[in-house]
Chains A and B, each alone.
Chain A
């Protein structure tokens, strides 16, 4: 039996685009209502400002500032994370507030306003051995 090459897949679709060719970066996917100049994350179908459909998928910035955070000591049911871990809401230059796990910083040192950079990491495997990927932000 010929085994298929193992792939990297987003653990859930729609939040980010993995690179399709080498040298490309993973980018968060938002939705842009061009007439409103309003960006949304996660991407949505209907503009909250003007109500029109057919918003454009856009690649969002990968760097932002911590808008708020908390240190979680009891993970919610069904989660893949181990406590304690930091969750943050990162504000991107385009406007959206992105909820994320925050790494690369001692939990006691996290500060609102600090910079953070998006990356992707394997958080699991599917039954075919493909790597399931999630976006996270690292303190920068």
Chain B
């Protein structure tokens, strides 16, 4: 049987920030209702749900979807660290493409403590934990130092990512931080792990996102011209014999060039077709590494590529037009859905002051300690 085409019928967000008075399922409810309304879909027509979260309690998917109704559908919690919500959407897409379901809802939620994330979940501290071998910006700091050494990338290049992100976040009413920051402020903020300073780190955040995923056939009942998810790839780091950095958790979280290659191929596009991008910028260097790995500039030139303005909203290849993780915020389980929401609005021409000129084809790259997803959208 031929694979069916997949559409994104609606998106929703709960503002990102701090909401101590709200339960996590309330955040999810708000995002879910917004997405269903945007899609014109009744919750009772949803056939399958995925709830993306990383740090919430057992039963969060049940309670979050329970806010919308109790129709007996399968609801599964998805955890791939920062890539959870986009993985939920990819899993829904796979089921829809295979013709198993027509209409799915993916809700990403997170409520977080302030300060550094403790990923151990109460498990015994490993050797790496005890010796402090994996600081918070771990992979990004190690890769940034090597990038500086191999290619002459400067601290200012990494810091400029944060400047651009915060300029964009100021245009996003859902963002946690909506204030521009100057380059000097970024460079002079507290050093976390050299060269990554505090303002180059994404914050901890409460928030939620929701995405209605549908077969293209069924989408026609709801929308004349739906946004389509035309290609995707998901994976984990892949060992390349002779390159020990590929098997080291401290040095690699994904396999971006390979996943991008597969997603581009599935979508029938290449880097030069892409008009707007969301990449994983848990820490500033992420934009530079991913601009290279997604094929927007040659390897090693990501620093100058960003410095010269190419990734700004009116640049050659706008990246993280809504502020990215750094400025929009990073409620871990919800982030992938917020990336999808921004690209969906861009493709539909509904991004307001953040709208890029040519948003016909959009690309998402979302990665966490556990895996990575690359997705291509168009209309």
B379 interface contact, C-beta 8 A? no
Q: How far is the CB of B284 from chain A (nearest CB, A)?
A: 14
Chain B positions 97 through 138: 1 when the CB is less than 8 Å from some CB of chain A, otherwise 0: 000000000000000000010101000011111111111110
B149 interface contact, C-beta 8 A? yes
A55 interface contact, C-beta 8 A? no
B154 interface contact, C-beta 8 A? no
B239 interface contact, C-beta 8 A? yes
Q: Which residues of B contact A101 (CB under 8 A)?
A: 131-133
Please state if B239 and A78 are interface contacts (CB–CB under 8 Å). no
Instruction: Tell me, in angstroms, the Cα distance from A11 to B145 when the chains sit together.
Output: 29
A119 interface contact, C-beta 8 A? no
Among A71, A76, A77, the most chain B Cβ lie within 10 Å of the Cβ of A76
Please state if B130 and A12 are interface contacts (CB–CB under 8 Å). yes
Please state if B193 and A72 are interface contacts (CB–CB under 8 Å). yes
With A89-B250, A97-B245 given, is the CB distance from A80 to B193 under 8 Å? no
Q: How far is the CB of A68 from chain B (nearest CB, A)?
A: 4
Chain B positions 136 through 153: 1 when the CB is less than 8 Å from some CB of chain A, otherwise 0: 110001111110010000
Instruction: Tell me, in angstroms, the Cα distance from A100 to B149 when the chains sit together.
Output: 19
Q: Which of A15, A48, A74 contacts B247 (CB 8 A)?
A: A48
Please state if A80 and B130 are interface contacts (CB–CB under 8 Å). yes
Output the nearest chain B residue to A136 by Cβ-Cβ distance: B131
Q: Which residues of B contact A89 (CB under 8 A)?
A: 142, 248, 250-251
For chain A, residues 57 to 74, give those with C-beta under 8 angstroms from any C-beta of chain B.
67-74
Q: Which residues of B contact A40 (CB under 8 A)?
A: 247
Q: How far is the CB of B310 from chain A (nearest CB, A)?
A: 26
Chain B positions 251 through 294: 1 when the CB is less than 8 Å from some CB of chain A, otherwise 0: 10000000000000000000000000000000000000000000
Please state if B251 and A97 are interface contacts (CB–CB under 8 Å). yes
Q: Which residues of B contact A117 (CB under 8 A)?
A: none
Size of the B side of the interface (Cβ < 8 Å), in residues, is 37
Please state if B130 and A78 are interface contacts (CB–CB under 8 Å). yes
Output the nearest chain B residue to A73 by Cβ-Cβ distance: B191
Instruction: Tell me, in angstroms, the Cα distance from A89 to B250 when the chains sit together.
Output: 9
B218 interface contact, C-beta 8 A? no
With A12-B127, A78-B125 given, is the CB distance from A72 to B135 under 8 Å? yes
Q: Which residues of A contact B190 (CB under 8 A)?
A: 73-74
Please state if B128 and A99 are interface contacts (CB–CB under 8 Å). yes
Q: Which residues of B contact A87 (CB under 8 A)?
A: 131-133, 135
Q: Which residues of A contact B149 (CB under 8 A)?
A: 68, 112
Q: Which residues of A contact B131 (CB under 8 A)?
A: 79-81, 87, 100-101, 123, 134, 136
A38 interface contact, C-beta 8 A? yes
Q: Which of A73, A76, A80 contacts B134 (CB 8 A)?
A: A76
Q: Which residues of A contact B130 (CB under 8 A)?
A: 11-12, 78-80, 123, 134
Please state if A70 and B133 are interface contacts (CB–CB under 8 Å). no
Q: Which residues of B contact A75 (CB under 8 A)?
A: 132, 135
Please state if B120 and A78 are interface contacts (CB–CB under 8 Å). yes
B352 interface contact, C-beta 8 A? no
Among B145, B242, B247, the most chain A Cβ lie within 10 Å of the Cβ of B145
Instruction: Tell me, in angstroms, the Cα distance from A12 to B192 when the chains sit together.
Output: 27
B20 interface contact, C-beta 8 A? no
Instruction: Tell me, in angstroms, the Cα distance from A73 to B137 when the chains sit together.
Output: 11
A95 interface contact, C-beta 8 A? yes
Q: Which of B116, B118, B251 contacts A74 (CB 8 A)?
A: B116
Q: Which residues of B contact A38 (CB under 8 A)?
A: 241
B244 interface contact, C-beta 8 A? yes
B185 interface contact, C-beta 8 A? no
Q: Which residues of A contact B145 (CB under 8 A)?
A: 68-70, 112
Please state if A74 and B239 are interface contacts (CB–CB under 8 Å). no
Please state if B241 and A70 are interface contacts (CB–CB under 8 Å). no
Q: How far is the CB of B105 from chain A (nearest CB, A)?
A: 34
Instruction: Tell me, in angstroms, the Cα distance from A90 to B142 when the chains sit together.
Output: 12
